[in-house]
Amino acid sequence: MRDSSFVAMAPRNRLIGLTGFLLFLASAILFVRYQYNLLNYLQYPDESETIVTAKMMAAGGTLYLDIFNHHGPLTFLSGLILEKFGSFGVPAHRVPIALLQLVALATIFFSPLLKDNLTRGLYTVVCSVIILRLLPGFFYAHAYMYQAIAGLLIIVILAQYTLPAICMKEALTDRSVVAGNLLIASLPFLNITFAPTAALLFIGSLRSPFLRKSWLWLAIGVVANLVFLGCVGSFRGYAVFHFYMNFKILPIYNYAVDSLHLFTNIFMVAIHPRSWFLVVAAVISMVCLALRERDLPWRTVCLAGALIVILTRGPSFYSTPFADAVLALPMVFFNKPLRTGRITNLSALALFAVCLFSISLILPMDRRRLDAGNVPLATEFSQLSDIFTSPGDKIIVYTVRNYEYVVANRLPASGNFFYFPWQEKYNENPRLGVKIDTCGEIRKNRPKIMLIDKWTVWDLYAWSSYGGCVQNILDADYTHILDGPYYVRKDILPRDKGIYFPHGDYQLTHSRVLEKGNEIPIMISSGSRFERAALKKIGILFNVADGMNGGAAELRLKDSDGREHVQRFSVSDLTNQKYRYFDLDPAVYTSGEIVSLGGSGVSTWETRAKQGAAGTCVVYEYAYEQRRFTPGCPIS
């Protein structure tokens, strides 16, 4: 009976095993698909700061000498490599992070702590769902920031080196010791705040059979990072911006190095709705790990200390490395093969199915959530930059809206490409000959356009307290446009250029509807009407009624000599809220209208200032390669 029962069960087990494998494969495919959707999901100024720094380095700038940054040099490695092959935005710079996520999950799957394929598959899939569904929205763990990189490296360190070294020393191999110590050595070169974490991980992972090898590869990792720093940056600048500023200048403005505040940060993480469950999981795992140490659990204490140091930065994305580390810690509960049986197998298949469904994007709400967080492909300032600058021109965006550089595809006109009070404070008494002269570089590069939002930092430090010299440049050489934080250099924007009305806010409306005998006048702004340079193209913004437009119409423009330019077009080809461009014979045009030739169902968009000045939404392209537009209108 036993033999026949076994024979009967074998095909069933094989079927369950095959089903589990197919579900695991499907989960891997859906994981990569979900990663692809995250490439354009949410962005934070720190991420675009990293990308802009990489772009400046690729353009020949020296990190920490020509380029101000608080982050470690290793942060910019992937970005620098990528920018050597072209100019890329946020999605491309997240690809290395996505690949590193796959590597981290692979090290979990192949960790010696997990003893059978079923456990490996389940544990890895659950971790992948957490990485995709929870950590991006809570901690920006999918973004190209040093916190995300550090967190993924810590997963690798724990899964392959530190956890086995603590509770399963016989599983240590030369390969895991080499990789573990190289990565531990690299953590401080992502940010100096990881130095205590790296030291505690190193001490807690040391085992006597690998003592010399551990020290050797730690030293090799440090030297390799120092060589990279020497190739791309300045040692003097690194010392100044990472040590002197952090410990001497920043405490004037915040409490980042105040011991009481650090402990407060730990408490805030422990009670924060987004992270308290991570703290609970970490504590339970640490207790289990400590019980598995035969003697005094000092190695577990080192590991706990390494993670607590991370929490001193507080909640939000600063906790990303801690959140990633907690994914690896519960592996200590699964050091024995899972007992398989019908209930176990069915439960595992059900868990696989739930995980697969959760990342399938079948539910409309999941797709809407990702779509709602899409990184904008254009901003008002990026469109202004396209109008006023060429690809080789440099711009300035202050105080800290770094994504504007990325979306505009323009480099900063100063190494201080974001601007805070402590940078100005440091420049009052620079050290080791390292100084980035913000206003000196702006005067030298003379950016054609700047975005200055004059942020009161943390509601404590007004723009006037740290932005005085920049404000002097604005007052002397720039014109404020569009009632926004936009400033254009006066020599390329004389006052009567049609770029703006002189007063107030604008109301966007539309003209009367085009019909036979009901022409639409083109209100050409005064600056463009009297512009001496000839227009070569004009774009008009149309409002199109659904299903009601059709037929033909003519654009009729009169030039300064009284001649008429006529161009026929199809009304049905117009797109709502899109500019329709017309090529012109180069001339100075003074008036115009749109006349129906049977066409109907469309109108033009117009803008009106509070004081009554009005204009048709028009983009003017001049023969001398410059563009102007009507204020208060969309500009693309």
Q: What is the pLDDT of residues 110-135, one digit of tens each?
A: 999 998 888 898 999 999 999 999 99
Can you read off the two tokens belonging to residue 563? 């001649």
- pLDDT surpasses 80 at 493: no
| Cα 504 to Cα 518: distance, rounded to the nearest angstrom | 31
316 shares its domain with 408? no
> Residue 607 is part of a domain; what is its CATH number?
2.60.120.260
User: What average pLDDT score do residues 363-369 get?
Assistant: 86
Residue 575: pLDDT band by 50, 70, 90 thresholds? confident
CA 609 to the chain's CA centroid: 36
Give the end of a domain, one of 320, 340, 370. 370
| Cα 388 to Cα 627: distance, rounded to the nearest angstrom | 7
Compute the mean pLDDT over every residue in the chain, rounded to the nearest whole number.
87
Domain count, the chain: 3
Given this model, what pLDDT does residue 230 score?
Answer: 97
Residues 6 or more apart whose CB falls under 8 angstroms from that of 453 comprise 398, 399, 401, 485
At 36-62, the pLDDT tens digits run 999 999 888 899 999 999 999 999 999
- pLDDT surpasses 70 at 391: yes
134 shares its domain with 267? yes
Residue 354 lies in a domain: yes
Given this model, what pLDDT does residue 530 score?
Answer: 40
Identify the domain containing residue 541 by its residue range.
506-629
- The listed range with the strongest mean pLDDT (102-111, 244-253, 601-610) is 102-111
Residue 500 lies in a domain: no
At 326-346, the pLDDT tens digits run 999 999 998 777 777 778 778
- pLDDT surpasses 90 at 27: no
163 shares its domain with 140? yes
129 shares its domain with 243? yes
| Cα 291 to Cα 296: distance, rounded to the nearest angstrom | 9
Length of the chain (residues): 636
397 shares its domain with 538? no
Q: Which residue has the tokens 């492909």?
A: 377
589 shares its domain with 484? no
70 shares its domain with 19? yes
User: What average pLDDT score do residues 241-251 get?
Assistant: 87
610 φ, ψ to 5°? -60, -35
Given this model, what pLDDT does residue 162 score?
Answer: 97
| Cα 105 to Cα 332: distance, rounded to the nearest angstrom | 16
Residue 4 lies in a domain: no
Can you read off the two tokens belonging to residue 608? 């009106």
- pLDDT surpasses 80 at 288: yes
* Residues paired with 619 in a beta bridge: 539, 629
582 shares its domain with 437? no
Q: Which residue has the tokens 């991370």?
A: 310
Given this model, what pLDDT does residue 11 score?
Answer: 60
At 416-434, the pLDDT tens digits run 999 999 999 999 999 999 9
Sheet of strand 550-559: strand arrangement: 520-522, 589-600, 550-559, 564-570
Residue 6 lies in a domain: no
94 φ, ψ to 5°? -90, -10
Residue 497 lies in a domain: no
Give the end of a domain, one of 316, 341, 370. 370
- pLDDT surpasses 60 at 405: yes
Report the chain's C-alpha Rg in angstroms: 31
User: What average pLDDT score do residues 25-37 get?
Assistant: 90
424 shares its domain with 567? no
At 79-111, the pLDDT tens digits run 999 999 999 999 999 999 999 999 999 999 999
Higher pLDDT, 220 or 42: 220
Residue 5 lies in a domain: no
User: What average pLDDT score do residues 266-291 get?
Assistant: 86
Given this model, what pLDDT does residue 525 score?
Answer: 62
Give the end of a domain, one of 469, 492, 515. 492
Residue 12: pLDDT band by 50, 70, 90 thresholds? low
Can you read off the two tokens belonging to residue 68? 């101000």
193 shares its domain with 336? yes
217 φ, ψ to 5°? -75, -25
* Listed range (421-425, 494-498, 574-578) with the worst mean pLDDT: 494-498
Given this model, what pLDDT does residue 5 score?
Answer: 43
User: What average pLDDT score do residues 466-493 get?
Assistant: 89
Residues 6 or more apart whose CB falls under 8 angstroms from that of 432 comprise 236, 237, 239, 240
336 shares its domain with 441? no
121 shares its domain with 237? yes
Please tell me what DSSP assigns to residue 133: I
Q: What percent of the chain has pLDDT over 70?
A: 89
Residue 2 lies in a domain: no
Can you read off the two tokens belonging to residue 516? 């036979």
Any idea what the Cα angle at residue 74 is, between residues 212 and 424, rounded to 5°? 130
Can you read off the two tokens belonging to residue 360? 């399938």
Can you read off the two tokens belonging to residue 201? 């991980």
477 φ, ψ to 5°? -125, 0
Q: Model pTM? A: 0.81
Which residues in 429-477 belong to E strands, given as ranges? 449-452
Residue 636 lies in a domain: no
- pLDDT surpasses 60 at 529: no
